[in-house]
Structure 1
Amino acid sequence: MESMRPGIVLVELVFWLSLLALVFTYLGYPALMTALARLRPRPVLARAQTPRVDVLLVVHNAAALLEDKLHNLLALDYPADRLRITVVCDGCDDATEAAARRIAGEASPERIRVLAHPQRQGKSACIGSALASLDADLVLFTDVRQRIDTGAVRALAAAFADELVGAASGELVLESAQGYGRGIDAYWRYEKAIRRVESASGSLVGVTGALYAARRAAIGEVPPGIVLDDMWIPLRIAEAGYRVVFVPQALAYDRAAADPATEEARKRRTLSGNYQLLHRWPHLAVPGAHPLAWRLWGHKWLRLLAPWLLLLALLSNAALAATAGRFYLIVFMLQLLAYALALLGRGVPALARAWLPARLAAAFLSLNASALLGLADYLRNPNAHLWRTTPRGVSR
């Protein structure tokens, strides 16, 4: 029995370190950011202003969505002579380009212009090539799918009255979430709460691709092949010494995915983009090498490790349950119960709709499974940067 003790101690160490890392990932980091926001707040010195804004909208085969999106942008509460829309058609082989040119003709070339690539380039390549033709003070990035609140541009522009602000993210609101989508909506509310305290204490580590703005002069090179331009661009801006802030008054609206498969495909691509970001820009993982490196560990990189931490916690707990006493047996049974609840929530949609714990457990398991699958996706195809317009009802 004594000879087994060193081995048991090692397994106990693995279990507790895994558990503590998981607790810090999902609870400790948000608590730390909340404490920093309260003890050392950094308010944004915003004031009303109307700088010139270039709206950049990259689309691929989005004919069914483009007309509504352009009319939404034209109706924004912002001086018409201070806001220009550039639509970049990325190798579209449907009616997208024709619809864009028709609406541009109706609105006037001063308000909407259309750039078209005959062959698909990928979103980041389109952004990179279009930026050279923009000359406004701010560039506003948006996706074709989401509806933007009429006052959103004014809210974002006000943040740039603070000379330290280089990028500002709007808030994505998920409408009419049902079933599995309600679990995703709960996760998104949790995510936005973290962004609020990150912003209040300094900077975000990423923005919502549905709606964000940046100082044109602060945007560095956007290389082709980047999946997460909404992380690459703000992280480059932060590297130059600017803040990246959250503006909750600037709203964009979307619908949460109603089924797990659709949401998981989107999440896998996003998480694969995180692995790509680390591959292309490895010093993002080195504390001190980037101004936001520590926040990236708390908010992003530990979540990529979370599936492995969960596996270590389960396996080490299983070993301890058989050798180290009743406490570990009880904890192991609780772990198994949590996984069973997640699988039931996934497999029985009616249970997920009716019971919050099952809904949240299913969403949590899906998120971590997507992190594993996203890694496999990236290892299998590191150049999978070409994208498709996602139908309405899929959040991002």
Structure 2
Amino acid sequence: MKILFWISLFITFYAFFGYGILLFVLIKIKRLIKGKPVLPIVDMDNLPTCTLVVAAYNEDGVMEEKIKNSLSLTYPASKLEFVFITDGSTDGTAAIVELYPQIRHMHSNERKGKIAAVHRAMDTVNTEIVIFTDANTFLNTEALVNICRHYSDAKVGAVAGEKRVYADADNATAGEGFYWKYESKLKTWDSELYSVVGAAGELFSIRTSLYVPVSPDTILDDFMISLLVAEKGYRVIYEPEAYATESASQNVTEELKRKIRIAAGGIQSIIWLKSLLNPFPIPVLSFQYVSHRVLRWTIVPFLMILALILNFIIVFSGDGSFIYQLLLIAQVAFYLMAILGWIMEERNVKVKIFFIPYYFCMMNYAVLMGIRRYSLGRQSAIWEKAKRQ
């Protein structure tokens, strides 16, 4: 029982913090051997041709701002195209896009989901690079340049941008912003070691020639598309100086809805990408994939519960030394803080220190619910948009 307790505790710690520590050490060793990596120099004359693709559904509240943001991005005009798809939109989204002749607009009255819209757009793209971004996110001026400079390296098959979450300092969803800052650091180190394991749909790009049309029932299309590129032996680079900013979820309930969908998609992706679990073709990629993604999306939430139960049994059976008592107190205190965070969020009380434990527990609860939803076949590939601040 004690061995099982320590294994559960170790894997949980490793998945969220230990892997980050190990990555940091590996990066330091790599830099001692090969030196710090040098970013490619931006040569505006030799940048590849690229297409910015935006799939939008009922986004009339932000569409005009999104278009203006897209048209203001720095990139050689002769090498840049814009494609906006508004399939199924029933508000004024399509009409707004029609006001801008610089944008190639694709629209169908039928809503088949984001990935179906992206497939339609990709059939028309003939540039070297395609960049995907969401309608409700806004890019920094140099985003496209900072992404496309990496394609001067033939080993690079995809480049992921950074997701930045804007949240009021006193808002309950501050935990979301904290989480994404930590994830950004992990992705930076992943990229430097070898490759990012999955891109976020807010901003990512691939070589058009490497695009593989994923199944229409794919839940995490951005994750699947980028990892299919990595599976072919190409690197997926992370570029934090190309970033997409969006507002935090309106509340934790809305964020939970989004996390459950992501968790269901994570299980689907692990099943479909089982070849990446084989360490022999690309060992470093498999190591990163299991450490950063697979553990979190499969066994860690169960191990958290198991560690707490075993800790109780060990202590109250009289078989536990002081260290077990101390760990039990720490676990109970952590979960009490999470419960307090939940109660305060329900009452709209802003005490930020309790929301990080609450957000952490909410993420792991979402994994459990995501596994359940996917197992029961209840998760649609069509995105149910979370309300934002």
TM-score, structure 2 length as denominator?
0.91
User: Is the CA contact (8 Å cut-off) linking 1:156 and 1:170 kept in structure 2?
Assistant: yes
Is 1:299 aligned to residue 292 of structure 2?
Answer: yes
Whole-angstrom distance in 1 between the partners of 2:131 and 2:258: 23
Whole-angstrom distance in 1 between the partners of 2:359 and 2:75: 38
Counterpart selection for 1:127 from 113, 118, 122: 118
User: Is the CA contact (8 Å cut-off) linking 2:172 and 2:352 kept in structure 1?
Assistant: no
User: Is the CA contact (8 Å cut-off) linking 1:164 and 1:242 kept in structure 2?
Assistant: yes
Residues 344 and 387 from structure 1, CA distance in 2 versus in 1: closer, same or farther, beyond 3 angstroms? same
Report 1:228-377 matches (<5 A): 228-288=220-280, 292-304=285-297, 305-323=299-317, 324-327=319-322, 328-349=324-345, 353-356=350-353, 358-377=354-373
Which residue is 1:37 aligned to?
A: 27
User: Is the CA contact (8 Å cut-off) linking 1:179 and 1:258 kept in structure 2?
Assistant: no
SS of the equivalent of 1:348 reads helix
Cα shift readout 1:124-145 (whole Å, capped 9, x = no counterpart): 1222232121011110100000
What displacement does 1:208 show?
Answer: 2.2
Ranges in structure 1 where 5+ consecutive residues have no aligned partner: 1-10
What displacement does 1:234 show?
Answer: 1.1
User: Is the CA contact (8 Å cut-off) linking 1:44 and 1:159 kept in structure 2?
Assistant: no
Report 1:149-160 matches (<5 A): 149-160=140-151
Whole-angstrom distance in 2 between the partners of 1:165 and 1:376: 36
SS of the equivalent of 1:321 reads helix
Which residue is 1:15 aligned to?
A: 5
Ranges in structure 2 where 5+ consecutive residues have no aligned partner: none
Which residue is 1:4 aligned to?
A: none
Cα shift readout 1:192-214 (whole Å, capped 9, x = no counterpart): 11001001111000122111111
User: Is the CA contact (8 Å cut-off) linking 1:60 and 1:91 kept in structure 2?
Assistant: yes
Is 1:78 aligned to residue 75 of structure 2?
Answer: yes
Which residue is 2:57 aligned to?
A: 60
The one-letter code of the counterpart of 1:144 is A
What displacement does 1:383 show?
Answer: 5.2
Whole-angstrom distance in 1 between the partners of 2:75 and 2:242: 13
Cα shift readout 1:269-322 (whole Å, capped 9, x = no counterpart): 111110111233333334336662221110011112211010110111111012
Whole-angstrom distance in 2 between the partners of 1:391 and 1:161: 39
Residues 326 and 146 from structure 1, CA distance in 2 versus in 1: closer, same or farther, beyond 3 angstroms? same
Whole-angstrom distance in 2 between the partners of 1:146 and 1:45: 25
Which residue is 2:187 aligned to?
A: 195
User: Is the CA contact (8 Å cut-off) linking 1:225 and 1:383 kept in structure 2?
Assistant: no
User: Is the CA contact (8 Å cut-off) linking 1:88 and 1:116 kept in structure 2?
Assistant: yes
Which residue is 1:147 aligned to?
A: 138
* 321-330 or 180-189, which deviates more: 321-330
SS of the equivalent of 1:46 reads coil
Identity of matched residues, %: 29
Between Structure 1 and Structure 2, how many residues are aligned?
376
Cα shift readout 1:17-70 (whole Å, capped 9, x = no counterpart): 101111211122112222222222583652214321111111112222212111
Whole-angstrom distance in 2 between the partners of 1:246 and 1:96: 31
Residues 341 and 208 from structure 1, CA distance in 2 versus in 1: closer, same or farther, beyond 3 angstroms? same
What displacement does 1:99 show?
Answer: 1.9
* 223-232 or 279-288, which deviates more: 279-288
Which residue is 1:378 aligned to?
A: 374
Is 1:98 aligned to residue 95 of structure 2?
Answer: yes
